[in-house]
Chain A
């Protein structure tokens, strides 16, 4: 599974993506974020306030409790500023 990082989160991690194989107990996108944070101190620190982030599953924004359910791509989205 691919995990994408954007904007200042990408800069802080110094990479735009990771290829990961989460263990079976990782069932939802929220679980995935917890698991990623447990493996990466920089990500853990950058996501200290998780409420500001949105998540996408296969290029659709979805709630944090959405099942991973064979997702190909998950993105962690810092606050967006379109328009």
Chain B
């Protein structure tokens, strides 16, 4: 399941629904990304720009890749765009597999690729104006470990 949406979602309800969709799995890993505002560098909001058609296509291809690479039973990605305030849920990755290792690795793979290869752009609104978020070198490093 791939969902690119401007609407908020209930991560717990999504996880319960996804877990209930298969009975042949022993492991589910979920990751939920939240908008954060750090005390020493506070933000008012995070605005995510998105190329929705491209995001849907690329996330679908990424999901297929994760399923086949790690032998997942299923995988799901929900990603929001628009203006989000601290504490809100930005995105969620879920993997289902017969055993935990595949579920963990599949979820990490999806997250590492999303950071650098999903067509979203983040702009932080602060008290002094707006600024674009740049890709962190550590995110590129995290992604590169999956290239073999």
Q: Which residues of A contact B (CB under 8 A)?
A: 4, 6-8, 56, 59-61, 75, 77-83
- What 8 pairs between A and B have smallest CB-CB spacing? A82-B118, A7-B121, A83-B114, A82-B120, A83-B115, A59-B53, A82-B114, A59-B54
Chain B interface SS verdict (over half)? mixed
How far is A79 from B51 in the complex, measured between Cα atoms in Å?
A: 13
Are the C-beta atoms of A82 and B79 separated by less than 8 Å?
A: yes
How far is A80 from B132 in the complex, measured between Cα atoms in Å?
A: 11
Interface residues of B, count at CB 8 A: 27
Are the C-beta atoms of A83 and B51 separated by less than 8 Å?
A: no
Chain A nearest Cβ from B81, distance in angstroms: 10
Are the C-beta atoms of A82 and B51 separated by less than 8 Å?
A: no
Q: Given A6-B49, A61-B58, A75-B54, is A82 in contact with B134 using a C-beta cutoff of 8 Å?
A: no
Q: Given A56-B54, A83-B111, is A8 in contact with B118 using a C-beta cutoff of 8 Å?
A: no
A-B contact pairs, 21 of them (CB 8 A): A6-B49, A6-B119, A7-B121, A59-B51, A60-B57, A60-B58, A61-B58, A61-B117, A61-B119, A75-B51, A78-B121, A80-B119, A80-B120, A80-B121, A81-B121, A82-B91, A82-B115, A82-B117, A82-B118, A83-B90, A83-B111
Q: Which residues of B contact A (CB under 8 A)?
A: 33, 49, 51, 53-55, 57-58, 79, 90-91, 111, 114-123, 132-135, 139
Partner of A83 from the list B58, B118, B132, B134 (CB cut-off 8 Å) is: B118
Chain A nearest Cβ from B126, distance in angstroms: 16
Are the C-beta atoms of A77 and B119 separated by less than 8 Å?
A: yes
Chain A nearest Cβ from B78, distance in angstroms: 12
How far is A56 from B123 in the complex, measured between Cα atoms in Å?
A: 22
Q: A81-B133, A83-B111 are in contact. List 11 more A-B contacts (CB 8 A).
A: A6-B121, A59-B54, A77-B51, A78-B121, A79-B116, A79-B135, A80-B116, A80-B118, A82-B117, A82-B118, A83-B90
